[in-house]
Chains A and B, each alone.
Chain A
């Protein structure tokens, strides 16, 4: 099925932009999964189409449903409603009327997989994982080229990818394998495929950032023990105290408090960076 962005009509895009700006100005833009309420407003896509029906998105905009789900997914990660509005405006402006973006979902998935594969030395990739990557990549390549793919082929690819994942323990290989198995759906039929692959891709990069920072499960357990001890020792007997366990951590364990703050900062920065990269990759397939 061929789609035509904005049905080839500049006015359709202008209408979507105007609605989005109007609802944002009225504080009715609530970034998150597709939602719409005539009184309360809704998600980025909901504010554009004034509906929570994915079919209405495709009918109104001439854009594929996978894109709507991905757009709302990205908007929900941005730090503010103003950022979400700016993202929506930039996105609508970036798409040329008349473009068929149906196959662009597969193009984006291939780029996400290639990006993830680049972080795993080829010598470390098991034959099973390599086969799963090749199979899923081939199916998306066909999809991007407009070649019809059979649901049974996708299902076989998923089974292969799951088996490959379950045989792995190395974090870098696992990250690639989890991306591959998540990506093993046809975006033309599966509305969440691109979104879900982006989510797992971001999670893998964020986990990698945590490993590089050096925070481990042992750190988690250690911090939990300390915070519980501080709570039981100081807060439980004196609930009137206007303190939190984190105030007490600063006072009694200043070095651990500093490391925890740095860990949180690292997570925030890593999250923002992966969101920026995902957004750039999304824009990269829209032109």
Chain B
């Protein structure tokens, strides 16, 4: 996994995401989730492509249920885009790097 992808837990969520300034892309995933695995290489690539501009983080949904409940995550994979700790976008299911980059650029180029 890229050194630019961070692991988030229920315990670290507030410090690393909710109280974090800037743009954070958080991936809710699970080990049993095939589409999550299909999305993983794209997220790694995005993390490297946008290193320094945004943080890409992963949260294991099975092991961190409090954050899943807090954000009403109902399906996997779910990507939440936070800007200054506030959820701005929600993307459910697999997505191409092109489409994901287009969403990110809307915020990073604004």
State the Cβ distance, A194 to closest chain B Cβ, in Å.
10
In the complex, which range does the number of interface residues on chain A fall in? Answer: 20 to 34
**CA separation between A242 and B42, bound complex, in Å?**
42
Q: Is the CB of A182 within 8 A of B97?
A: yes
**Which one of A8-16, A17-25, A31-39, A217-225 is at the B interface?**
A31-39
B45 on the A face (CB < 8 A): yes
Q: Is the CB of A161 within 8 A of B98?
A: yes
Q: Is the CB of B96 within 8 A of A181?
A: yes
**Which one of A91-99, A122-130, A195-203, A260-268 is at the B interface?**
A195-203
What residues of chain B lie closer than 8 Å to A52, measured between beta carbons? 1
A interface vs B, CB < 8 Å? 32-35, 52-54, 69, 72-73, 76, 158, 161-162, 178, 181-182, 184-185, 190-193, 195-196, 199-200
State the Cβ distance, B39 to closest chain A Cβ, in Å.
9
Q: Is the CB of B41 within 8 A of A191?
A: yes
B48 on the A face (CB < 8 A): yes
Q: Is the CB of A192 within 8 A of B41?
A: yes
B interface vs A, CB < 8 Å? 1-3, 37-38, 40-42, 44-45, 48-49, 94, 96-99, 101-102
What residues of chain A lie closer than 8 Å to B45, measured between beta carbons? 69, 190-193, 196
What residues of chain B lie closer than 8 Å to A33, measured between beta carbons? 37, 40-41, 44
Which among A32, A182, A190 is the interface contact of B49 at CB below 8 angstroms? A190
11 contacts between A and B (CB under 8 A): A33-B40, A34-B44, A53-B3, A73-B38, A76-B37, A158-B101, A184-B98, A192-B41, A192-B44, A196-B41, A196-B97
| Complex: chain B residue closest to A69, CB-CB | B41
State the Cβ distance, B21 to closest chain A Cβ, in Å.
26
